[in-house]
Amino acid sequence: MANKKMTIIASKGTLDMAYPPLILATTAVAMDLDVTIFFTFYGLQIIKKDNADKLKISPLGNPAMPMPMPIPALIATLPSMQAIATSMMKSMFKKHGVATVGSLLELAKESGVKMIACQMSMDVMGIQQSDIMEGVEFGGAATWMDAAAESQVNLFV
Amino acid sequence: MANKKMTIIASKGTLDMAYPPLILATTAVAMDLDVTIFFTFYGLQIIKKDNADKLKISPLGNPAMPMPMPIPALIATLPSMQAIATSMMKSMFKKHGVATVGSLLELAKESGVKMIACQMSMDVMGIQQSDIMEGVEFGGAATWMDAAAESQVNLFV
Amino acid sequence: MANKKMTIIASKGTLDMAYPPLILATTAVAMDLDVTIFFTFYGLQIIKKDNADKLKISPLGNPAMPMPMPIPALIATLPSMQAIATSMMKSMFKKHGVATVGSLLELAKESGVKMIACQMSMDVMGIQQSDIMEGVEFGGAATWMDAAAESQVNLFV
């Protein structure tokens, strides 16, 4: 019987929202699903060369982000706060043995997750094919649609 | 054989996140899928009359947004920055021949994408049926659920 | 015939984005679907004990949020604005007879929605099993994947 299939659209480029597509994709492929990730909009930041481990988060506009102490929004705008929040989240992941975004990306590639970069988004954002990591294909919404129509699970992250 | 079907829940009302539902829907309908978009929460902003091309984005809280230069968060709070970010993204889309949100909305309507506005969200936000563009139907979560249960692809944007 | 099935990944912990998973889940279960919600990342805030009705929203970074008057972003950073926006949205929901997040959560539990907390996210965020409300099970991405592969509808919120 053919494997079940999953597609994930990765549209966010923050450190926190880079994790769900990669964790779900690597889990699914380990369970013998065929997985395609379509990187579009800000999600392209994840697959730019040497950028996966430079993604940032911001506490601004997300009162659900756990912080060691309540941060008033005005203070959260200080330049140092984004760096602090990013560094804090990275250390929380590391402390609990969760792989970095870069490592998950490598794992996804090695384990056969098909990765497609959205050419239209690249054009709009001025990203060249040479800016994108090796092993990623290029396509459009129709490429994703073809895969999604044959998949049992499709997610937009 | 009956066409494959897709539903998209459009829950965001920013300029950037208005694009994915409309691009995916117009692509899908061109590939002969039956498509339903369910506009709810902030997504109602997209289908308010004469509002599609007034949607805005904010660089706040999204360090993955490409900007011509790094913008410290404190400066990003200045009233002019939201206008600058919105204008910059619009010109990036225009320069690369990507249709406006308003044009994509018209295309979606003309090509038979079924559009449903969430009546409960409208009530909560004080939006009248007369505030919504022509050609949109009104329904609730159960209306979406009926369509989703018969669809091969369902996305929450 | 077996019921149709739906899974929802609830990854956000703000007041506004806590609603979609719970409204869709309670609607679906009333229509005889089997529903699983997988709470992960910030979504864990929804199921922390006595926390559902303490969730907040921020106007920062979301220019699509309806406010009684335009709020310049700099003013939106004032500590009081998050409280004002949260209180305003709660009163809008209440005025229109929409249940609180806490009530919807109870309804979901009583009506048989299966709720799973992501153990890995809990570990990363330092959340104990005793911090989570009664009736929630614990699992990982593979637990969700098993349910999703057998479901007709899967959403990432």
Q: Do C42 and A64 touch (CB under 8 A)?
A: yes
Query: How much is the ipTM here?
Result: 0.93
Chains in contact with A, where contact means 3 or more Cβ–Cβ distances below 8 Å, are B, C
Pick out chain B residues at pLDDT < 50: none
Query: Splitting chain A (157 residues) into consecutive groups of 10 residues, what average pLDDT does each group show?
Result: 91 96 97 98 96 89 71 66 85 92 97 97 95 97 97 98
Sheet holding A34-39, edge to edge: A137-139, A114-118, A34-39, A5-10, A153-156
Q: Give chain A positions within 8 Å (CB) of C78.
A: 73-74
Which residue of B lies nearest to A60 if distances are taken between CA atoms? B61
Query: Which tokens in the block code for residue A53?
Result: 């481990």
Q: Is the pLDDT of residue C124 over 80?
A: yes
Strands (E) located in A18-83: 34-39
**DSSP three-state, residue A126:** coil
Contacts of residue A132, defined as CB under 8 A and 6 or more positions apart, other chains included, come to A44, A47, A48, A49, A117, A122, A138
B89 vs B111: CA distance, rounded Å: 26
Q: Please state, rounded to an integer, the average pLDDT across all residues of chain A.
A: 91
Query: Which tokens in the block code for residue B140?
Result: 């609730």
The whole model's pTM is what? 0.94
Q: Is the pLDDT of residue C1 over 60?
A: no
Domains of chain C: 4-55+100-156 (3.40.1260.10)
What pLDDT, in 10s, does the model give residues C129-144?
A: 999 999 999 999 999 9
Identity of the residue numbered B129: Q
**DSSP three-state, residue B62:** coil
Identity of the residue numbered B3: N
Give, in order, the Cα–Cα distances in Å from C110 to each of A94, B5, C11, C136. Answer: 37, 32, 22, 12
A30 vs A22: CA distance, rounded Å: 12
Contacts of residue C73, defined as CB under 8 A and 6 or more positions apart, other chains included, come to B58, B60, B76, B77, B78, B79, B81, B82, C60
Q: Give chain C positions within 8 Å (CB) of B126.
A: 66, 92
Q: Do B62 and C66 touch (CB under 8 A)?
A: no
Query: Which tokens in the block code for residue C52?
Result: 């559902």
**Buried b / exposed e along A113-130 (16+ C-beta atoms within 10 A):** bbbbbbbbbbbbbebeee
Is A140 exposed, middle or buried (CB count within 10 Å of its CB: 0-12, 13-18, 19+)? middle
Chains in contact with B, where contact means 3 or more Cβ–Cβ distances below 8 Å, are A, C
What pLDDT, in 10s, does the model give residues C77-94?
A: 666 778 888 888 899 899
